[in-house]
Structure 1
Amino acid sequence: MTLFRHFRLLPRLVVAIVLLVMGVQPLAAQQPLTRDTSFTVASALRKARKDNPTITLAQPAFPSTIQAQRNLTYCTVGGRPLQLDIFYPKAKRSRGYPAVLLIHGGGWSSGDRSHHAPMAQQLAAKGYVTVTVEYRLSPEARYPAAVTDLKAAVRWLRTQAGTYPIDTTRIAVWGFSAGGQMSALLGTTNGDAQLEGSACQTSRSSHVQAIIDVDGTLAFIHPESGEGDDSRGLSAATRWFGASKTDQPALWHQAGALNHVTAQTPPILFLNSSVDRMHAGRDDMIKKLDAFGIYHETHVFPKAPHTFPLFNPWFDLTLEHTVAFLAKVFPKRP
């Protein structure tokens, strides 16, 4: 009987000690990265109810007109599979449906793609292929890893037109909070090699044709921005960038969509709460959009908390504005 067969007869603790002496790390010691669970739908609801006691979690029924595929790997980076869930209409359409990539928030360090599954499902029922997407958070990888992950997800969508009814010429990004910041950055950096990344489906385009920014900052270094205040501990943005904005201002500028607006920037919808600092740079960005003649809309929900798209009564309004905007920029084809 071999040495390792004898180990099965020993207590687990003894086996672990022997393996360590031999220089072999037991599988049980190979702990996965600890996940930051500081931002969840439940915690957001408790916080929002302090000022809005009558609000409820938006949990509409799964529409009977759509279908779903979950836990699909869209890219593997360094052995790490990145996954998404896709929702799409059952009805066939020869040209396919426009696609919407939904990006969750959580300060770049927390949150989960499941947060916006209800929105994705309702959008799919309105005639879109929708995807809720995972990306690497700051405890795992610093900026721009999340951005390159999301661009890879857009490229993945373009590889799937034979499997799902996707119109690859019409892809929108919809993001909340940190996800809103990244949706705006994705849309304003179409074709920017610095943020493209080198993993997965690189022969395809990551260009998007519309942006929905739900309470996501447009500029990190800006008079309206509250990001990067490290006076009481490292801020979420500092953790994401891995350096303060005084140490690496160029990096912080690069991540602000305001600094990338050109004549090629796609149409954009701003949906905002009453928390002004969450949409820092928006008005300056609108001026740039106007100068280039780029279509945009802004809708503000007075007295709404930052997490408004997750809750009633704002969920339906968020859905309505999103659908109306997409209908304008992606009109139905004959």
Structure 2
Amino acid sequence: LPSHTVRFAVVEGRELYADVFLPEPSASTARPAVLYFHGGGWRGGERGYARAWADFLTARGYALISFDYRLFPPATGLKAPGDVKCGIRWAKEHTATYGIDPDRLVLFGESAGGHLATLAGYTEGAARLPSSCAPGDTSVAAIISFYAPSDLVAYAASAPAPLEGFTGVSLEGHRELYELLSPINHVGPRAPPTLLLHGGADSVVPLDASQAMAARLAQAGVSHALFTLPYAEHGFDIWDGGFGRQLARARVGRFLQQHAPVD
């Protein structure tokens, strides 16, 4: 169970909450934090999914904060990314409360949450995708993305219905919006280091989504890693104690130690 559950924002009359999982007190008062955003096709899921990672991360000295974001319906394509940035801002404003180092924040998203994490992480300061609450610095040290869409124009060929629900419109006649909401189009040399994990047999989000993202990150000279689990389906890390989660934890632990180490 979380150490605290707090309301971090009220946007357009909707209350958004966060679960805060804290490690045991340490000599250092500033520890890195992982900011988690759940999957669910932009229309389902819940922040409670983070509990699968809580023991693993807090045992290693990381704070874990799992955030709500607005789901569709109604369409949230231009709202959910702002909620993610709102969560980042809230975490930075409460560093003293939870003993968090604002320079060691890592975004972690799975599926739709991975899409939103990369989109928010790569568009820090972008006027067309602002925070849904207080403006300000939303930069992060690194990003972890599991089996997430990266190019919504390409993904529309296999998943038109959820994308139309998310954006509120079809791709036809609205290509510019789909491109704006595609993280792959915002990768630049200043993008945060990124870890991508994807199943080789993913039938929900094809593997080529992460392969294309890795190629774009390489082209921009951004530190990154792509870990593929052959024969693994979407959500390969769901089962507690399963082989997929064990492998994923090993990769995540190594990446965090490299880019947001615990003192």
Please, what TM-score do these two structures have when normalized by structure 2? 0.91
Distance 1:184 1:314 in 2: 22
Over the matched positions of the two proteins, sequence identity in percent amounts to 30
Distance 2:262 2:178 in 1: 39
Pair 1:117-2:58 in alignment: no
Q: CA offsets per residue over residues 33-71 of structure 1, 9 Å max, x none?
A: xxxxxxxxxxxxxxxxxxxxxxxxxxxxx7xxxx7112x
Unaligned runs of 5+ in 2: none
Indicate the residue corresponding to 1:216 in structure 2: 148
Indicate the residue corresponding to 1:174 in structure 2: 108
Shift of 1:332: 4.4
Indicate the residue corresponding to 2:250 in structure 1: 320
Indicate the residue corresponding to 2:117 in structure 1: 183
- Is contact 1:100-1:172 (8 Å) kept? yes
Q: 1:141 to 1:296 in 2, by over 3 A?
A: same
Distance 1:319 1:229 in 2: 29
Shift of 1:248: 0.8
Shift of 1:229: 4.6
Q: 1:229 to 1:297 in 2, by over 3 A?
A: closer
Indicate the residue corresponding to 1:81 in structure 2: 15
Structure having the higher Rg: 1
Pair 1:259-2:165 in alignment: no
Indicate the residue corresponding to 2:139 in structure 1: 207
Distance 1:198 1:178 in 2: 18
Distance 2:75 2:8 in 1: 18
- Is contact 1:176-1:215 (8 Å) kept? yes
Distance 1:127 1:286 in 2: 29
Distance 1:193 1:95 in 2: 34
Alignment of 1:82-101 (within 5 A): 82-101=16-35
Q: Which amino acid aligns with 2:197?
A: L
Indicate the residue corresponding to 1:308 in structure 2: 236
The aligned length equals: 259
- Is contact 2:41-2:162 (8 Å) kept? yes
Distance 2:94 2:43 in 1: 29
Distance 1:173 1:85 in 2: 15
- Is contact 1:175-1:212 (8 Å) kept? yes
Indicate the residue corresponding to 1:9 in structure 2: none
Q: SS at the partner of 1:172?
A: strand
Shift of 1:331: 3.4
Query: In the alignment, which of 222, 233, 236 is matched to residue 294 of structure 1?
Result: 222
Pair 1:164-2:85 in alignment: no
Distance 2:27 2:102 in 1: 13
Indicate the residue corresponding to 2:70 in structure 1: 136
Distance 2:15 2:8 in 1: 8
Distance 2:193 2:249 in 1: 17
Q: 1:300 to 1:228 in 2, by over 3 A?
A: closer
Distance 1:296 1:128 in 2: 21
Please, what TM-score do these two structures have when normalized by structure 1? 0.73
Q: 1:287 to 1:141 in 2, by over 3 A?
A: closer
Unaligned runs of 5+ in 1: 1-61
Distance 1:191 1:228 in 2: 31
Indicate the residue corresponding to 2:164 in structure 1: 238
- Is contact 2:84-2:131 (8 Å) kept? no
Shift of 1:228: 6.0
Q: SS at the partner of 2:153?
A: coil
